Amino acid sequence: MLFNKKIKELLYSLVAIISALIIGALLIKLSGHSVLEAYYYLFYGAFGSSYNLSQTLFKTIPLIFAGLAVAVGFQSGLFNIGGEGQLYWGAFATALVAISFTNLPALILIPLALVAGAAAGALWALIPGVLKAKTGAHEVITTIMFNYIGILMTTFLLKNYFKEAGPVDQTPKIAEQAKLPEIVANTRLTWALFIAIFVIIIVYYLLNYTSFGYDLQLVGENTNAAEYSGVNADKVIINAMLLSGGIAGLTGSTMVLGVLHRFITNFSPGYGFTGIAVAVLGRNKPLGVLAAAFLFGALESGGMSMQLFAKIPADLMTIVQGLVILFVAAPSIFKIFNKKSLALRGDN
């Protein structure tokens, strides 16, 4: 039954993606552009060469962390939309460690910087978690507010205590040995990809093969039933927020160590919020998040190629992404159609 359910969900997702691309093709045609040319460059821009594939994977990495952070929260019944603030603290803490301990070798400095980033993100998520568990304060409200506070606090600290001389609000560069090695030269695709996959595996194991994962999902399904069975729901909520925030913090950590090589104000294009869409598209499952993040990375990378060579407006690519999310997140749309068709057959 479980296997059949997963196959059915996969088929729904494939139908949703194809449907979104078909509607996108109609919009491209109505706008006066060539559909074949547009989708050729979409595919080519995402997968057409080793460099293009590297760029797709590069754009996938932060979405894996951001989507997984949201998915962990969803699994426990929490809507953590504070990933943006948490990843800023993760990036800031990682940068401080990487510019402070310049005498450490890479094998120690890189893990230390990553742990600092995860810890900073987790601690920033801890406050909304405690407020939720102890006072019932809604995590949507608190995490939204903590986004603004986190971003502005890191900006304040940078400008007043850690800013490198110059017009740009940024820290000095991190130590050379703290930089994540590139997998493919001159592509910005670094070992952050392997870190992301490792985190996916760890979270998958935690959710499916540990008592912590069982308790977390039980609380997400029904808090009252979880407490009746002896689960400390408050503790689970706090731990879930810690885990979610820690993963979000790694979004910023890997950006600092692999791409920016310093902390820069306003560096995120909204990874924390895009992570919500990735989590929804991946049905809040670790492997689903991996697939959804890769799809988003491909659409973004291929979309740039469409704009450059096929002259397709960026807005059309955004519409296609929105349609994919809408269709995959609402399989009930297809179920409604199925029920109606069955009803019509019954009437006949």
- Residues 273-287: what's their mean pLDDT? 90
**104 within domain boundaries:** yes
Q: Rounded to 5 degrees, what angle do the CA atoms 206, 76, 65 make?
A: 60
Paired with 19 in beta bridges are none
Question: What tens digit of pLDDT does each residue of 142-173 get?
Answer: 999 999 999 999 999 999 999 999 999 999 99
**111 within domain boundaries:** yes
**252 within domain boundaries:** yes
Please report the pLDDT score of residue 332 as a whole number. 46
Residue 181 has pLDDT above 60, yes or no: yes
**162 within domain boundaries:** yes
Please report the pLDDT score of residue 280 as a whole number. 85
The CATH number of residue 255's host domain is 1.10.3470
Residue at token pair 């960026």? 314
Paired with 264 in beta bridges are 170
Please report the pLDDT score of residue 225 as a whole number. 87
Please report the pLDDT score of residue 2 as a whole number. 55
- Residues 342-348: what's their mean pLDDT? 48
| CA torsion through residues 234, 237, 242, 243, sign | positive
**341 within domain boundaries:** no
Give residue 3's pLDDT band: very low, low, confident or very high (50, 70, 90): low
pTM: 0.90
Nearest alpha carbon to residue 254 among 199, 196, 184, 203: 196
Q: How many domains does the chain have?
A: 1
Q: What is the mean pLDDT of the chain?
A: 89
Question: What tens digit of pLDDT does each residue of 15-58 get?
Answer: 878 888 888 889 889 888 889 998 999 999 999 999 999 999 99
Residue 66 has pLDDT above 90, yes or no: yes
**295 within domain boundaries:** yes
Question: What tens digit of pLDDT does each residue of 318-343 get?
Answer: 887 778 777 776 654 444 445 445 44
Question: What tens digit of pLDDT does each residue of 90-117 get?
Answer: 999 999 999 999 999 999 999 999 999 9
**310 within domain boundaries:** yes
- Residue 288: which domain range? 58-328
**143 within domain boundaries:** yes
Please report the pLDDT score of residue 208 as a whole number. 94
With contact defined as beta carbons under 8 Å apart, do 260 and 267 qualify?
A: yes
